[in-house]
Chains A and B, each alone.
Chain A
Amino acid sequence: MKSVFNILPEQASTVASHVDAIYLFLIAISVVFTLLAAGLVIVFGVKFRRRPDGPAPEKPHEDSRLEMAAGAFLLVLLLVLFGWGAKVYFQNTRPPADAMEILVTGKQWMWKLQHPNGRREINTLHIPVGKPVQLTMTSEDVIHSFFIPAFRVKQDVLPGRYTRLWFQATKTGRYRLFCTEYCGTEHSMMGGWVNVMTAADYERWLSGEVAGAAQETPVQAGERLFTQLGCQTCHNAGSGALGPNLAGVFGHTVKLADGSEVIADEEYLRESILNPHAKLVAGFAPVMPVFKGIINEDQLLQLIAYIKSLSGASN
């Protein structure tokens, strides 16, 4: 771990050096302008200090071209910063298509994580080095925020919604994980470690320890829930089915009973499970039971993972 007296902390993700480059540029600007302002007021203070018998100063010779020039110069400088910052931001927030998905649920005061093969962990995240990883995150209670300083990434985690965060680690090692949105009494304890491992170590870890105890992947768990909750009685490919067939739904446009259209994303699926009558699909009667209060956030994530798998969505 780098000393806190280094200008830059550990860089352990693909985006870190891009963010740091802007940071160093900003520091350079700040040093120049601070020295300029401080230098001028000190020099003026000495040079134009009041002398007992000195002449009264003249009115300032004003020239609005000075303000214009300063304004124009700043505008250009700030546009460069804005553009650069926005470019890196957009690069850093778009996950690559082949990112491996890990499910994250935050609650007061812990992080629950689940890997694609079903392995779960709390407050520690094991990931392989050199592979893009996407977190799909939600909260069971208040707003939290998922922050890995060494990766320079952060994203709020909201109740009732899914937010995403992606990164690709570049170095094996242990890096701090923090919650950065104040969430109550033990907010400062809501953190842990990100353990970046070689691909082989990660595979070993994934299948490790609890060997024997059959592990369900989130998709399998979702499928089991789907059956247990009796979803397939209505949601099937049959012609008289009471509910829409869910194969191929995810990521596609759905026509609603009120004539509008929505894209079936995670948020829409979530809402349609918890409160099915809010956005009823055209051609179906509002007969589906409300699952709000019946299934928890983890199960919801699994159900959604299963529905996504029906569309061949990456998982």
Chain B
Amino acid sequence: MSETATIAATAEPKNYLTNRHTIQSWLFTVDHKRIAILYLISLTVFFLLGGAAAALFRLDLMTPQADLLQSETYNKLFTMHGIVMIFFFLVPSIPAVMGNFLVPVMIGAKDVAFPRLNLLSWYVFMAGGLIALGAIISGGVDTGWTFYTPYSSMYANSHVILAVAGAFIAGFSSIMTALNFIVTIQKMRAPGLTWFRLPLFIWAMYATSLVVILGTPVVAITLVMIFIERFFQFGLFDPALGGDPVLFQHLFWFYSHPAVYIMILPSMGVISEIVSCFSRRRLYGYTFVAFSSLAIAVIGFFVWGHHMFVSSQSAYAGLIFSFLTFFVAIPTAIKILNWIMTMYKGSISFDTPMLYAYGFLGLFTIGGLTGLFLSTMATDIHLHDTYFVVAHFHYVMVGGGVMGFLGALHFWWPKMTGRMYPEGWAKFAAIVIFIGFNLTFFPQFQLGYHGMPRRYHTYAEEFQILHVMSTAGASVLGAGYLIMAAYLGWSLFKGKRASANPWDARGLEWETTSPPPTENFLSTPTVTQEAYAYDKPSVTHVPPEEKRV
């Protein structure tokens, strides 16, 4: 004990957080870990904004009439919720925060391949975000996050150009991050770290980066086309100007369906890490899981038309899109089987990250299954643009994407901050969030099949009871998030110091100190085993005097 005390008093070991303290050392950092923290802070702000918008319109939906909000405000709020949550939270969430922090550490590199490009990506992201915020502050946008034409290009009287510019610019930051990851993973793996020794999180980041690089330019062009039609009155989408109103939907969904995988593949990577760590064994079917990420990324580019069964798209095109959509469900379903089989005969402990993995499995399974209702043509005709779709994609994107993000945050929080959070509170919040989420969104499936259209400010009175249930659930969900914010904030200052490997996990990131030094490892590690060698003792590169218990 006395020995530890003297070390702490004389030489607090320098890590990436403590080595420099000035504001400039953060704003001009090229350390991938500090950039991850910059992203984490900015994304938290965006998440709060998007959540606040949802809270407001959810409250308004307690009654069928317009009481709290005017229709214009209501429309602007759901648009803001969608734009902020998708372009400024879900798409960057795991890659920009967890990926930035973990990719170099997990592969034993000192940084990403292009550290300055990495910093630039954050500035570009912030520029996009501030422009989008500008659109909101200067009066808002009311097109929905989908920007359907010709409404967005010719009819909307709101700040469409600013919002589109914000999303357009933010897209470049995704591309920069993705480019960085691909080169880093391809070129900078530590000696001995072969492809099939990589953590599945790295495979997921690689697949996601491919989708980002192939898809984002298309949505960027599409957003520019809205600008051209709106600003120069040059007919692209509005038939009154000689354009094609459905063309936009093709271009938009060509990106935005794969974007679902940009939001979900990283989560799947996280769940693979967590399930294997808290079951203490190699992930069942590693190779399958690794390649299925790539398969999903590729097939995901050929299913966009399932958003357009009622758009007047040819029925035969619809047939093909329906078929391919069913097809893409298979690797996803087998992945769920793999996670479950990993637990079989494992040694399972229920620390907070594992609770989020359980939450993910439950919610994402429901999200995936309800996707079948929408890929089946006959039922999609009825369900399209109803609350069923709203419920489905929240189960996928919150149940899948956000649960994965929160699982990752709790799993790697000790590594990132060097502090533990209070486990009891964290478990409690995880359970509250899970229950609150289901209470909010499950009634919406029922609303949808009974015909409640989405994006409705006022609605038929028979739907009220289900809306009230949904709003009540949302308040539970919101409470869960607030509890989490409180104990995570507390842990930053008062949390117990974290050891290098608090979960006794495998993988390079656990072999260095928590938090890691600026250069991640004091010397480049040599890898002799795969990332899931739970049958072998854990390896450490931490000098003995720095080991904390």
Q: Which of A26, A149, A183 lies in contact with B451, CB distance below 8 A?
A: A149
Q: A62, B280: Cβ atoms under 8 Å?
A: no
Q: B453, A147: Cβ atoms under 8 Å?
A: yes
Which residues on the A side are within 8 Å of B410 (C-beta)?
none
Instruction: Tell me the nearest residue of chain A to B238, going by C-beta.
Output: A159
A58 CA to B345 CA, complexed, in Å: 8
CB distance from B78 to the nearest CB of A (A): 9
Q: Assuming the A-B contacts A56-B534, A86-B377, are A4 and B462 also in contact, with contact meaning beta carbons closer than 8 angstroms in the complex?
A: yes
CB distance from A306 to the nearest CB of B (A): 22
Q: B534, A57: Cβ atoms under 8 Å?
A: yes
A89 CA to B379 CA, complexed, in Å: 8
Digitize A28-67: 1 where CB-to-B-CB distance is under 8 Å, 0 elsewhere: 0110011001101100110011110010111110101011
Which residues on the A side are within 8 Å of B453 (C-beta)?
147, 178-180, 188
Q: A49, B349: Cβ atoms under 8 Å?
A: yes
Instruction: Tell me the nearest residue of chain B to A37, going by C-beta.
Output: B365
The answer to whether the Cβ of B465 comes within 8 Å of any Cβ in the partner chain is yes
CB distance from B496 to the nearest CB of A (A): 21
Q: B384, A41: Cβ atoms under 8 Å?
A: no
Q: B344, A26: Cβ atoms under 8 Å?
A: no
CB distance from A15 to the nearest CB of B (A): 8
The answer to whether the Cβ of A252 comes within 8 Å of any Cβ in the partner chain is no
Binds A, one of B43-51, B96-104, B172-180, B328-336: B328-336
The answer to whether the Cβ of A296 comes within 8 Å of any Cβ in the partner chain is no
Which residues on the A side are within 8 Å of B480 (C-beta)?
none
The answer to whether the Cβ of B431 comes within 8 Å of any Cβ in the partner chain is no
Q: A152, B376: Cβ atoms under 8 Å?
A: no
Inter-chain CB contacts under 8 Å: number: 267
CB distance from A64 to the nearest CB of B (A): 7
The answer to whether the Cβ of B27 comes within 8 Å of any Cβ in the partner chain is no
CB distance from A174 to the nearest CB of B (A): 12
**Chain A residues touching B, range:** 35 or more
Which residues on the B side are within 8 Å of A49 (C-beta)?
347-350
A33 CA to B370 CA, complexed, in Å: 11
Q: B144, A41: Cβ atoms under 8 Å?
A: no
CB distance from B356 to the nearest CB of A (A): 13
Q: A188, B379: Cβ atoms under 8 Å?
A: no
Q: Assuming the A-B contacts A57-B345, A159-B238, are A26 and B373 also in contact, with contact meaning beta carbons closer than 8 angstroms in the complex?
A: yes
Q: B156, A78: Cβ atoms under 8 Å?
A: no
CB distance from B535 to the nearest CB of A (A): 6
Instruction: Tell me the nearest residue of chain A to B377, going by C-beta.
Output: A89
Question: Can you list 30 A-B contacts with CB-CB less than 8 angstroms, sorted by A residue number?
Answer: A4-B462, A22-B376, A23-B449, A33-B369, A37-B365, A40-B343, A41-B343, A44-B348, A50-B280, A60-B282, A62-B284, A67-B285, A67-B334, A71-B330, A74-B330, A79-B326, A85-B378, A89-B381, A149-B382, A150-B451, A152-B382, A158-B246, A163-B312, A180-B385, A181-B385, A182-B143, A184-B75, A184-B151, A187-B457, A189-B71
Known pairs A147-B451, A154-B381 / 13 extra A-B pairs, C-beta < 8 Å: A30-B370, A34-B362, A41-B358, A44-B343, A59-B282, A67-B334, A85-B376, A85-B380, A86-B322, A155-B310, A163-B312, A187-B457, A188-B71
Could you list which residues of chain B lie within 8 angstroms of chain A, going by C-beta atoms? 71-72, 75, 142-144, 146, 148, 150-151, 154-156, 238-240, 245-246, 279-285, 288, 309-312, 315, 318-319, 322-323, 326-327, 329-330, 333-334, 336-338, 340-350, 358, 361-362, 365-366, 369-370, 372-373, 375-382, 384-386, 446-447, 449-451, 453-460, 462-463, 465-466, 534-535
